[in-house]
Structure 1
Amino acid sequence: MTGRLFGQGEVGSSDLIREAAKRAGAKLLEYELDAQFRCSGSDGFINWVDNTLDIRRTANVLWKREDVYEFRVMDSVQELEHAIRQKAAEGSARLVAGFCWPWSNPNGDGSLVKDVQVGTWAMPWNAKPDAGHLGAGIPKSNFWASDPGGLEQVGCVYTAQGFEFDYVGIIFGPDLRYDWEKNIWVGDKKHSFDSVVKKSGDRFVDLVKNTYRVLFTRGIKGCYVHFMDEGTRKFFQSRLE
């Protein structure tokens, strides 16, 4: 059994599962997984993301638009939300974003603050893990990925990691952008609200890249992205064929 990331309140290991099966008198079948079935099982897409974000060099420089795994660049966050809601009606889908906005505590009435703002569009982050009273229909953070109410919030990387959806919609924020003149990725700490990453010194850019890598690889069937920075959008589109 390969390892996986567990959310808050979850525990798990091969030994624990074996012990539980033994106590229950259940037959246990074990399989060795060579890879996670994320991104339609496409190592090519993950390799392309790694190469495009300059995390590591791979042979996957260009991504074919007609590939079975669907990757789309959305012109607006409204278009992105609409597409994800359509996919959620057919299966599972969630919106996620880079950590470019504050993550507020719930309001006194249990409602969530609409922290994630792009122009006139706004939506709250998922509830914090330690959130107390929440309003009706707002799931706790560990149920954000499965509860229908989670579609009304944007997932941050710390909540989304370890979960997969049929489709993921990403708001690629201004904390990371591609500099065409220098041909490098540039980080912008003033647009980051991740307190741990902001204190990482020279590792800031690498850690933000990894944040987006995690978000890009949450989708099983497809990944839709809205880029807030025009230069970054053009760079990603230059890597499509």
Structure 2
Amino acid sequence: MKSGLYQNRGENQVKELIRAAKFTVFFIDNDQQIHIKDIGESNLIARWAEKEGARVQRLKLKSQFRCNGSDGYLAWLENTLQLKETANIKLTPQEFDFRIVDSPSELRKLILEKNSAKNQANILEKNSANKSRMVAGYCWDWASKKDPEAYDITFPQYDFAMRWNLTKDGSTWIIAPDSVNEIGCIHTCQGLELDYVGVIIGPDIRFENGRVVTDVTKRSSMDRSIFGIKTMLREDPQEALQLADRIIKNTYRTLLTRGMKGCYVYCCDQALRDHFAAQLSPARPQAATGYGKSAHPQTSAGYCETALPRVPALFREPEVPPGPRIEAEVNASAQFVEFLPLYSLKAACGAFGEGQYAEESGWVKVEGLGRLNRNMFVVQAKGHSMEPKIPDGSLCVFRANVVGSRQNKIVLVQHRGLHDVDYTGSYTIKTYTSEKSFDRETGEWQHERIVLKPINPAYRSIVIDQEDDFTVIGEFIGLVKS
């Protein structure tokens, strides 16, 4: 992007910074491109710096204070928005105060309560007050910019009407005392933090056929971040749609990470609301509730639960303890000695089943499971079929390349024709049993079929014919301790 108010000066802001200073530091988040003209991807900066004769040193931020310091929340959000596949499939209440609500009116009520409570608790500490705000995707025109009496974001069915952020406050909108009664957009909150953020996810993103899809045509025509996209759609539709998809998802990733203590969300698309709710682990076992109902003992609008099959109480949703912390990196001397790599199921099956290179999602400290080695890895279980032994969302240690009988052992299996209600893709975690028959002609035992059995009696076994193409990726060793 060029310099100047109208981006019409100079050559390139990044190049100008490198040339202007003896020592330049860039803090880069490659997933925060929210404008069609945004530049600054880390590899591009490094290439420009090297052309200017600068020595480039890369450092990695290993921890952060945003979102309650929860790296797990950030990874879960990327997985849920389908920006990238991570091992963080479920979000537990202990990680971050994240809630899905039924209406924008309920969202506004929560934010006003948080903002008011903060003010009352810190009446003598003005700098600590006034730190809860609402933001939204730029899907509504800014009518109030010209007509102060007009409302911009309206939901008549919920008796909800609010205006975009005040023009008089400019870039300080997010800290202006009265701005709790306004709604901010990506351009006024990127790079800033709140205690609690309420996010309205607009119609530019929805969930259908198992995918999070975007629709740039639902963005407001006043949104300058996509100026030029119509021309791109005519010239190169595929590239334009990919860029628009990245901008829209990055926008919501940024909005959903503005809260340091909590994030409350209303989705215009009901299916997207259901998708988010399905990725939340409840705070305590109880009957399934509707959106906005509490699964947290101290709130009136809380975490969402999805209905389970009618099963014995023993197998109902267990209480989820705080999970082990996932480290982005560990010293080489600690790898496979104290820590094991964490993979998504797809990555684990690629690495240990097909010999492909797979990058770990992080490193997890493993204790009490004996001596570790390079054949061992960690994946996150999903669903309830192996409860109570393997709770939903727990981190499981597996060992690959195991020889000997697998009979009655819990295994991770990849099978191209497999369908498991707990997992998307051709993977499952089940108890391996082989049914055999005696061949009188050869005098040997022959496999008739392989049955992958769940522990939870509410689920069905998966039967695999001997001729079917399947691979046992690893044998279950145990659970990672919290």
The aligned residue for residue 101 of structure 1 is 140
1:117-147 per-position Cα deviation (integer Å, ceiling 9, x unaligned): 223411111134xxxxxxxxxx512221111
Query: Does 2:260 correspond to 1:220?
Result: yes
Query: Does 2:27 correspond to 1:3?
Result: yes
Give the counterpart of 2:161 among 115, 122, 126: 122
**CA distance change for structure 1 residues 143 and 77 in 2, over 3 Å: closer, same or farther?**
same
Question: Which runs of structure 2 are paired with 1:146-225 in the superposition (5 Å)?
Answer: 146-179=175-208, 181=209, 183-193=210-220, 194-197=223-226, 199=229, 201-202=240-241, 203-225=243-265
Aligned partners of 2:133 and 2:174 also within 8 Å: yes
Q: Distance in 1 between matches of 2:116 and 2:262?
A: 15
Q: Distance in 2 between matches of 1:232 and 1:38?
A: 24
Q: Distance in 2 between matches of 1:57 and 1:235?
A: 15
Once the two structures are TM-superposed, the CA of residue 2 in structure 1 deviates from its matched residue by: 7.1
Aligned partners of 1:50 and 1:213 also within 8 Å: yes
Q: Distance in 1 between matches of 2:200 and 2:268?
A: 7
The aligned residue for residue 87 of structure 1 is 114
Once the two structures are TM-superposed, the CA of residue 72 in structure 1 deviates from its matched residue by: 0.6
Once the two structures are TM-superposed, the CA of residue 35 in structure 1 deviates from its matched residue by: 3.4
Aligned partners of 2:70 and 2:95 also within 8 Å: no
The aligned residue for residue 318 of structure 2 is none
The aligned residue for residue 239 of structure 1 is 279
Q: Which has the larger radius of gyration?
A: 2
Aligned partners of 1:2 and 1:33 also within 8 Å: no
DSSP 3-state at the match of 1:49? helix
Task: Flag the structure with higher strand content.
Answer: 2
For structure 2, which runs of at least 5 residues remain unmatched after alignment? Answer: 1-24, 30-59, 119-130, 233-239, 282-482
Once the two structures are TM-superposed, the CA of residue 104 in structure 1 deviates from its matched residue by: 3.5
For structure 1, which runs of at least 5 residues remain unmatched after alignment? Answer: 6-31, 129-138
Indicate the percent of aligned positions where both proteins have the same amino acid: 37
The aligned amino acid for 2:135 is: V
Aligned partners of 1:126 and 1:154 also within 8 Å: yes
Q: Distance in 1 between matches of 2:109 and 2:63?
A: 31
Aligned partners of 1:85 and 1:93 also within 8 Å: yes
Given the two structures, how large is their TM-score scaled by the length of structure 1?
Answer: 0.76
The aligned residue for residue 50 of structure 1 is 78
Aligned partners of 1:84 and 1:95 also within 8 Å: yes
1:15-44 per-position Cα deviation (integer Å, ceiling 9, x unaligned): xxxxxxxxxxxxxxxxx9643310011111
Aligned partners of 2:67 and 2:258 also within 8 Å: yes
1:31-60 per-position Cα deviation (integer Å, ceiling 9, x unaligned): x96433100111110110001011111110
DSSP 3-state at the match of 2:112? helix
The aligned amino acid for 1:41 is: G
Q: Distance in 2 between matches of 1:4 and 1:51?
A: 20
Q: Distance in 2 between matches of 1:155 and 1:236?
A: 22
The aligned amino acid for 2:247 is: L
The aligned residue for residue 12 of structure 1 is none
The aligned residue for residue 16 of structure 1 is none
Q: Distance in 1 between matches of 2:101 and 2:144?
A: 30
DSSP 3-state at the match of 1:124? strand
The aligned residue for residue 102 of structure 2 is 75
Once the two structures are TM-superposed, the CA of residue 105 in structure 1 deviates from its matched residue by: 5.7
**CA distance change for structure 1 residues 2 and 189 in 2, over 3 Å: closer, same or farther?**
closer
DSSP 3-state at the match of 1:72? strand
**CA distance change for structure 1 residues 4 and 114 in 2, over 3 Å: closer, same or farther?**
farther
Aligned partners of 2:204 and 2:215 also within 8 Å: yes
Question: Which runs of structure 2 are paired with 1:8-19 in the superposition (5 Å)?
Answer: none
The aligned amino acid for 1:37 is: F
Given the two structures, how large is their TM-score scaled by the length of structure 2?
Answer: 0.39
Q: CA RMSD in A?
A: 2.2
**CA distance change for structure 1 residues 90 and 55 in 2, over 3 Å: closer, same or farther?**
same
Aligned partners of 2:201 and 2:267 also within 8 Å: yes
Task: Flag the structure with higher helix content.
Answer: 1
Q: Distance in 1 between matches of 2:267 and 2:117?
A: 25
**CA distance change for structure 1 residues 191 and 223 in 2, over 3 Å: closer, same or farther?**
same
Deviates more, 1:193-202 or 1:149-158: 193-202
DSSP 3-state at the match of 1:140? helix
Aligned partners of 1:105 and 1:113 also within 8 Å: yes
Aligned partners of 2:144 and 2:163 also within 8 Å: no
